Amino acid sequence: MGLSGSGKSTLLRCINRIHDPTSGKVTVAGIDVTSLDRRGLERLRRQKFGMVFQRFALFPHRTVIGNVEYGLEIRGVPARERRERALQVLELVGLAGWENRRPDELSGGMQQRVGLARALAVDPDILLMDEAFSALDPLIKREMQDELLTLQSRMQKTIVFITHDLDEALKLGDRIAVLRDGRIEQIGTPEEIISRPASDYVAAFTAGVDRSKVLTASSVMMPPDPVIRPKDGPHAALQRMRRHGISSIFMVDNDGKLLGLVSASDARAAADRGESSLINVLNKDVSTVHEDDALRDVFGFGNGTSWPLAVVDGEGKLRGVLVKGAILASLSHPPDSWNKQLQQPVGRDQHAAL
Amino acid sequence: MLPFELPIAGWVEGVVDFLLSHFQPAFRAGSTFVFTIVDFLTSVLLAVPPLLMILIWTLISWKLAGIGVAAFTLAGLLVVDNVGLWTPTLETFALILSAEVIVISLGIPLGIVAAQNDAVDRVLRPFLDFMQTMPAFVYLIPAVMFFGLGLVPGVMATVVFALPPLVRLTNLAIRQVPNDLVEAGESFGSTPLQLLMKVQLPVAKPTIMAGINQSIMLALSMVVIAAMIGAGGIGAEVLRGIQRLEIGRGFVAGLAVVILAIILDRVTQSLGQQAQAPKGG
């Protein structure tokens, strides 16, 4: 991801050497791309790459299916076989029945589906997508993003996706490289980019982002202590709550699995009744969220339920505690209390520039 | 100012003399070859009865350019036949067709090379300017010296005059193929030849067809000039009209050239438009 002129399209084209890098080395699956001769390069492009372009770059003299067949045609795949394969891929991208149309008869979104189908028809290991959705209407764009994610969950290919749209990068990317003036400012997961920007530039860039979409429960939660165990009695629980200044406490078993919540008033009542166990006052109906849940979803959860929320992993183990105040703090602009130690403060004027 | 005159005229004569004395057999052979082809073409065209030929032309222009052009072709050619210019018109057509075959087989490859190589383009450009702007009469004389009087120097002079626009437009057409289409072709691992045949030429085709159209029109404008060195055809009729001050005769012959020009123009133009329609696989 980067703004225009940051070198992102150039970098992409260096990967399959449509642009020759002036210095440096590109290695794809152990092959030094920069040292290949013309034939070697052609072979590599046929074997490894499919490319999708911002302005679709469909061949205007070919029909939709003629476009999709192109990559197979130049490999010498027999006509019947490539037609069959092309029809399959068109079906995959939702364009069955459109194969004999001309590209200019199609809407932008459909044209890009053809572009995607053309790239997928050769079953490439690596899909290079150059601002593939930037020329589309916002609505169609979102639809294509969702479909790409669905396709990807099935295909599991390596996709290098270029965009100038941070939201798009955060939505699609497993790992994001932020480019500026031909340099990589930071590489990391969407969450790392947002919560631990490596430079002022990245921090300023990400300041306007809807953090609730990117940050997950695990990045904002507090450590899950203190907790109590089933063997602990009301007095031990009350003492721990008092020491930490909290009004309720989670109970976990010896494996760390969440059992429930005990409030201070219930613990006090149990103590007054002289009970030695908290079993009777344990509230097992506790709202939990998964550690990978986006904060936006967590907030919906929190409405009408009691705080704090328990954050659990896939096995039901308690990983942390969400407190309303901490979430609100994390959603405001950086720097925040929860990651102050990891980043430099960003000046006010830099915020204003955005 | 220089104290002497540059001996350009002498140089040119020297070059022509050199070529004549050293390559005479080659020019002879070339001349015979071209003459045989044009002559054969003319006799084939003339072997068909005029009315049948007119019908064939009408059908072709109907198929390629629509009903309007077909009607014009029918009426125009009937007029040509009626005024007794059928044979010279077909002779001219054969001459242009032969010249055009040479122009296309030289011009398109040259244009392709010039599009792919900037150095070639830079070298070629002044030659093309030269060929296009040097008054045609000037190279009529060397053409006669090399190829003798008659059809062949007429064809050659026509080729020299009609070649530049096709080279230029082919060059331009290929350079104007959108960059992302070329990148798309490359990204799939196309060889340079595949890229040329499957992407660049098809996309460039309408402009190249316009170049062919232009060169045909220029070739037609050479008809009268070529007749001055004995190329025959309608050009000779026009010349005869001028020389004898028979204004009517000259006009009728000129009209035949115009009719032929319009038919060829419309038909080749529609070929260019058809080139834009896509094909499958």
Could you give the domains of chain B? Answer: 25-274 (1.10.3720.10)
Name A160's bridge partners.
A128
Neighbouring C-alpha atoms within 13 Å toward the C-beta of A216 = 17
- What is the rounded CA–CA span in Å between residue A134 and residue B134? 52
Last residue of a domain, one of A119, A144, A173: A173
- Touching check for B203 and chain A: CB below 8 Å? yes
Separation of CA A340 from chain center: 23
Q: What is the ipTM of this complex?
A: 0.79
Mean pLDDT of A212-230: 80
- Touching check for B189 and chain A: CB below 8 Å? yes
pLDDT of A209 strictly over 90: no
Q: With left for phi above 0 and alpha for psi between -120 and 50, is residue A5 left, alpha or beta?
A: left
Per-residue pLDDT of B139-160, as tens digits, reads: 888 888 888 888 889 998 899 9
Count Cβ atoms within 10 A of the Cβ of residue A228 and give its class: 0-12 exposed, 13-18 middle, 19 or more buried.
buried
Answer yes or no: are the C-beta atoms of B133 and B160 closer than 8 Å: no
Give yes or no: residues A147 and A241 share one domain. no
Of residues B215 and A207, the one with the higher pLDDT is B215
Give yes or no: residues A112 and A235 share one domain. no
Segment among A125-129, A337-341, B46-50, B274-278 with least mean pLDDT: A337-341
- Touching check for B249 and chain A: CB below 8 Å? no
- How many Cβ atoms sit within 10 Å of the Cβ of residue B33? 11
Mean pLDDT of A304-312: 73
What total of structural domains would you count in chain A?
2
> Given pLDDT bands bounded at 50, 70 and 90, which one contains residue A352?
very low
Give yes or no: residues A164 and A224 share one domain. no
Q: Is residue A348 part of a domain?
A: no
Q: Is residue A210 part of a domain?
A: no
Answer yes or no: are the C-beta atoms of B33 and B101 closer than 8 Å: no
Mean pLDDT of B62-75: 93
How far, CA to CA in Å, does A38 sit from each of A245, B191, B200? 71, 9, 19
Give yes or no: residues A148 and A236 share one domain. no
What's the confidence (pLDDT) of residue A344? 40
Give yes or no: residues A155 and A226 share one domain. no
Give the CATH number for residue A158: 3.40.50.300
pLDDT of A103 strictly over 60: yes
What's the confidence (pLDDT) of residue A306? 61
Answer yes or no: are the C-beta atoms of B70 and B64 closer than 8 Å: no
- Touching check for A79 and chain B: CB below 8 Å? yes
Give yes or no: residues A133 and A268 share one domain. no
Helix (H) or strand (E) holding A111: helix A108-121
3-state secondary structure B151-180: HHHHHHHHHHHHHHHHHHHHHHHHHCCCHH
Per-residue pLDDT of A137-188, as tens digits, reads: 888 999 999 999 998 988 889 999 999 988 899 889 999 999 999 899 999 9
Contacts B191 to A, Cβ<8 Å? 42, 74
Give yes or no: residues A249 and A131 share one domain. no
What's the confidence (pLDDT) of residue B111? 96
Q: Is residue A345 part of a domain?
A: no
What's the confidence (pLDDT) of residue A304? 55
Which of A174, A180, A139 has the alpha carbon at shortest distance from A160?
A: A174
Helix (H) or strand (E) holding A311: strand A309-312
Residue of B nearest to A105 (CA): B278
pLDDT of B114 strictly over 90: yes
- Touching check for B280 and chain A: CB below 8 Å? yes
Chosen from B186, B188, B194, B195 to mutate, greatest number of chain A CBs within 10 A: B188
Give yes or no: residues A150 and A271 share one domain. no
Q: Is residue A38 part of a domain?
A: yes
Per-residue pLDDT of A38-97, as tens digits, reads: 999 999 999 999 999 999 999 999 999 999 999 999 999 999 999 999 999 999 999 999
Q: Is residue A201 part of a domain?
A: no
Q: Which domain holds residue A98?
A: 8-173
- What is the rounded CA–CA span in Å between residue B66 and residue B62? 4
For residue A66, give how far its alpha carbon lies from the nearest alpha carbon of chain B (Å). 4
What's the confidence (pLDDT) of residue A338? 40
Name every residue whose Cβ is closer than 8 Å to that of residue A71 and which is 6 or more positions away in sequence. Answer: A46, A50, A118, A119, A121, A122, B188, B189
Amino acid identity of B166? L
Per-residue pLDDT of A285-294, as tens digits, reads: 887 888 888 8
Give yes or no: residues A19 and A144 share one domain. yes
Chain A stretch 172-211, residues whose beta carbon is closer than 8 A to a beta carbon of chain B: none
- How many Cβ atoms sit within 10 Å of the Cβ of residue B16? 14
pLDDT of B77 strictly over 50: yes
Amino acid identity of B194? Q
- Touching check for A138 and chain B: CB below 8 Å? no
How far, CA to CA in Å, does A120 sit from each of A68, A129, A156, A262, B155? 8, 11, 12, 55, 52
A/B interface, count of CB pairs below 8 Å: 91
Q: Cα torsion at B42, B43, B48, B53 (round to 10°)?
A: 0
Residue of A nearest to B180 (CA): A57
Mean pLDDT of A120-138: 92
- Touching check for B188 and chain A: CB below 8 Å? yes
Residue with tokens 């219930």: A266
Q: CB distance B278–A103 less than 8 Å?
A: yes
Quote the mean pLDDT of chain A.
85
Q: Return the structure tokens found at A283.
A: 């509230």
What's the confidence (pLDDT) of residue A325? 72
Give yes or no: residues A227 and A78 share one domain. no
- What is the rounded CA–CA span in Å between residue A86 and residue A70? 9
- What is the rounded CA–CA span in Å between residue A212 and residue A330? 9
Q: CB distance B178–A57 less than 8 Å?
A: yes
Q: For residue A306, which phi and psi values (nearest 5 degrees)?
A: -90, 145
Q: Is residue A100 part of a domain?
A: yes
pLDDT of A313 strictly over 80: yes
Give yes or no: residues A32 and A159 share one domain. yes
Per-residue pLDDT of A246-282, as tens digits, reads: 888 888 888 888 888 888 888 888 888 888 888 888 8
Smallest Cβ distance to B187: which of A16, A43, A79? A16
Q: Is residue A269 part of a domain?
A: yes
Give yes or no: residues A50 and A111 share one domain. yes
- How many Cβ atoms sit within 10 Å of the Cβ of residue A232? 19
Give the CATH number for residue A277: 3.10.580.10
Q: Based on C-alpha coordinates, what's the Rg of chain B?
A: 21
Name A31's bridge partners.
A28
What's the confidence (pLDDT) of residue A245? 82
Q: Which residues of A294-321 are buried (b: 16+ CB within 10 A; e: fewer)?
A: bbeebeeebeeeeebbbbbbeeebbbbb
Mean pLDDT of B18-34: 87
Name every residue whose Cβ is closer than 8 Å to that of residue B27 and which is 6 or more positions away in sequence. Answer: B19, B20, B146, B147
Mean pLDDT of B86-113: 94
Per-residue pLDDT of B213-259, as tens digits, reads: 999 999 998 888 899 888 888 999 999 998 999 989 999 999 999 99
Helix (H) or strand (E) holding A287: none
- Touching check for A65 and chain B: CB below 8 Å? yes
- Touching check for A60 and chain B: CB below 8 Å? yes
Per-residue pLDDT of B180-195, as tens digits, reads: 999 999 999 999 999 9
Q: Is residue A36 part of a domain?
A: yes
